[in-house]
Amino acid sequence: MRMYDIIEKKRDGLELSKEEIEYFITEYCNNKIPDYQAAALLMAIFLKGMNERETAQLTDAMAHSGDMIDLSEIPGIKVDKHSTGGVGDKTTLILGPIVASCGIPVAKMSGRGLGHTGGTIDKLEAIPGFNTSISREEFIRNVKEIGIAIAGQTGNLAPADKKIYALRDVTATVNNISLIASSIMSKKLASGADRIVLDVKTGSGAFMKTLEDSVKLAQAMVNIGENTGRHTVAVVTEMDIPLGNAVGNSLEIIEAIETLKNRGPQDLTEVSFELAARMLELSGKGSFEYCLELVRETVESGKALKKLAELIEKQGGNTAVIDDYSVFPQAKYKLDFVAETSGYIKNMKTDTIGVASLELGAGRETKESIIDYAAGIYFNKKTGDKVEKGDVIATLYTNKEEKLSEARDLLKQAIELSESQPVKLPLILAYIDNKGVQLK
């Protein structure tokens, strides 16, 4: 088999066989195919596309390029949740304890943030002492004992994806549905879950900016899951405004705790409960409506909050954070961002807000950047809200005083006021499973 022939075949718009796809992934990972040939094939895929079968087989080959995590020691159906990334998205910290306290094991491998989107692992590490680098044995044992563990991804999870993504990033071949879907799903397949719930974000703070593209991506990932033996569903959720009021690691953990105390922001509560109910439904707990009621009861009874405390204690964290938020790292400097005129918040450029939070120190520009866990932004007002001149729209937190003015200027660019109240979009925009698409 020759790489030249595989490139030529896809260049001419023909289907690649399973053997050709596996040959490319295996030999490229073994450094036997040079970058220039791999780049040529990626460009051919970008221009000519891949069908459902090809996309599923590419994903499966990428998943098997490294460690395949075996969760069979854990009894019951293991359901994973993946978000395509957003600003203020701390749903894992809420739905994980909810689902676990309903008797469904949560064995969650999460990532770090990069760029304007945050990462679950960074947020958890804002809890003093919390260890996200536990061994595989401890990870499995914790899930068996308390029903939940959340850890960082292993270094050898889907290495083909890391190598291919780095090449796509510099060859203008990132924005292709098959390549995006295979990148995301290869890591999910390798993580060992039996079933997968996908939270596909859409809007200014998401990778996919339009509902149409988000639905296409969701459909592609659901098809991959189903074609590789993992029952998969997707929910398309709004990311034209930050989710919840808090953006930044400690701030988001506090907001997650408040949500488990049944006093979180309405939008964050709605999305978290929807995803938790979908996970329970997929695990066989009952109808979606029944599972949603179960989620509400679990939070109202305090069971979910207790499960979060168990998770924190089990992974070495200080459980005092549940009731004493002063235990979190504190910011030395803060600045109120006030409305210069009266009106309604017309829209929020959520990606720019994410960059403002990053500038304050809440995110990382490179993998080597050190995160300021206290840094971030807390919003008192969001899209659709009425503001009077002088009202505090948001408060900025940081330990780098010189970053406050830069972040404030970014917020000025991100937040637009108008005289009339805008129409707010629903938070849950679509549901996708193997039967098709249901627009909300």
CA angle (256 as vertex; 250, 258 as ends), nearest 5: 105
Residue 183 is a catalytic residue: yes
**Catalytic residue among 78, 90, 116, 168, which?**
168
* Rounded Cα distance, 59 and 218, in Å: 15
Beta-carbon count within 10 A of 374 CB: 23
Amino acid letter, 363: G
The answer to whether the predicted template modeling score (pTM) of the entire model surpasses 0.85 is yes
Looking up tokens 């701030």 gives 251
User: Under CATH, which number does the domain 79-323 receive?
Assistant: 3.40.1030.10
**Catalytic residue among 10, 82, 381, 403, which?**
82
Same fold, 79-323 and 329-418: no
pLDDT of residue 47: 96
Among 3.90.1170.30, 3.40.50.880, 2.30.40.10, 3.90.245.10, what is the CATH number of 329-418? 3.90.1170.30
**Catalytic residue among 10, 116, 187, 195, which?**
187
**207-243, pLDDT tens digit by residue?**
788 999 999 999 999 999 999 899 999 999 998 899 9
Q: What does DSSP assign to residue 14? A: P
- From 273, 254, 218, 233, select the one nearest 88 (Cα to Cα): 254
Continuous segment of H or E residues that includes residue 262: none
**58-67, pLDDT tens digit by residue?**
999 999 999 8
Residue 307 is a catalytic residue: no
Amino acid letter, 436: G
Each residue's pLDDT expressed in tens, for the chain with a length of 440 residues = 999 999 999 999 999 999 999 999 999 999 999 999 999 999 999 999 999 999 999 999 999 999 898 899 999 999 999 888 788 889 999 999 999 999 999 998 877 665 556 688 889 999 999 999 898 889 999 999 999 999 887 668 889 998 998 899 889 998 899 999 999 899 889 988 999 999 999 988 777 889 999 999 999 999 999 998 999 999 999 988 999 999 999 999 999 999 999 999 999 999 999 999 999 999 999 999 999 999 999 999 999 999 999 999 999 999 999 999 999 999 999 999 999 999 999 999 998 999 999 999 988 766 667 889 999 999 999 999 999 999 999 999 999 999 999 999 999 999 999 999 998 889 999 999 999 999 87
Looking up tokens 């398309």 gives 236
CB–CB of 160/29 below 8 Å? yes
Tell how strand 195-202 and strand 231-238 pair up: parallel
* Rounded Cα distance, 87 and 247, in Å: 7
Helix (H, G, I), strand (E, B) or coil at 163: helix
Looking up tokens 């990334």 gives 85
* Rounded Cα distance, 29 and 381, in Å: 48
* Rounded Cα distance, 114 and 118, in Å: 7
* Rounded Cα distance, 247 and 274, in Å: 21
Helix (H, G, I), strand (E, B) or coil at 440: coil
Ranges of H-type helices in 113-227:
120-124, 136-146, 159-170, 177-190, 211-227
* Rounded Cα distance, 374 and 329, in Å: 5
Beta bridge partners of 395: 336, 378
Domain 3-49 sits in CATH 1.20.970.10:
yes
Residue 191 is a catalytic residue: no
**Catalytic residue among 183, 186, 204, 250, which?**
183
Neighbour order of strands in the sheet with 436-439: 79-83, 195-202, 231-238, 428-433, 436-439
**Catalytic residue among 80, 161, 199, 240, which?**
161
Residue 161 is a catalytic residue: yes
Domain boundaries, the chain: 3-49, 79-323, 329-418
* Rounded Cα distance, 384 and 333, in Å: 29
- The DSSP string of 80-106 is EEEE---SS--THHHHHHHHHHTT--E
- The DSSP string of 305-350 is HHHHHHHHHHTT--GGGGT-GGGS---SEEEEEE-SS-EEEEEE-H
